[in-house]
Amino acid sequence: MRTLTKALVLGLIVFATGCAPSVTVKLDYDKEADFAALKTFSWLPMPVNPAASVKEALERNSLMDKRIRRAVEVQLTAKGYQVNVTHSDFMVTYHIGVEDKIAVTDWGYGYGWRGPSRVDVYQYQQGTLILDVIDSKSKQLIWRSVAQGVIDPSAPIEKREQRLNDVVTRMLADFPLAGK
């Protein structure tokens, strides 16, 4: 009976986590911004901090920078925007972070419906990616998309890169087409 109960609880956990959205995406934008006038973009230069902590160095590295930029450029060019480093209509920048989290689930009962309450503790890392679009003339933020989700640093590079591409696609899904 206890084995059956364990299997049932484990099955429910797998089902629940499989159905839960793995990444949440939130969006904010300036309703007064003239997105129809936007046709070209460039990257806002990243500040260089040589005295960065190990955590900051792990969060921002040239490999991740290249992947994020490529994913964003693919999405923006697919929407009709062109890269123009000298005279762009808007600039793009991003911020990333990783935070250690703990999830605690109090099941409120023990196995076999007897015994003490069961509590599960799960440690994980939550990653955050923020994409900002800044109007080149006014230097004001006109679009922000924030994605947060559980990350798996031990996943193969290909899976991490595919997940990043999928997340950036979701983050820019509602960004207007060029000239619209």
Q: What is the pTM of this model?
A: 0.76
CA dihedral 166, 170, 176, 179 (to 10 degrees): 0
| pLDDT of the residue at 103 | 84
Phi, psi of 78 (to 5 degrees): -65, -25
Q: Say which CATH class 22-171 falls into.
A: alpha beta
| pLDDT of the residue at 173 | 97
SS3 36: helix
| pLDDT of the residue at 8 | 35
How far does Cα 22 stand from its chain's mean position? 10
Residue carrying the six token digits 């015994």: 115
Asked if 93 contacts 74 with a C-beta cutoff of 8 angstroms, the reply is: no
Each residue's pLDDT expressed in tens, for the chain with a length of 180 residues? 444 333 333 333 333 333 344 899 999 999 999 999 999 999 998 765 555 555 565 556 788 899 999 999 999 999 999 999 999 999 999 999 888 888 888 776 656 556 667 788 888 889 999 999 999 999 999 999 999 999 888 899 999 999 999 999 999 999 999 877
Q: Which residues face 96 on adjacent strands?
A: 129
All residues at 6 or more sequence positions from 29 whose CB lies less than 8 Å from its CB, including other chains: 142, 143, 144
- Sign (positive or negative) of CA dihedral 129, 135, 139, 141: negative
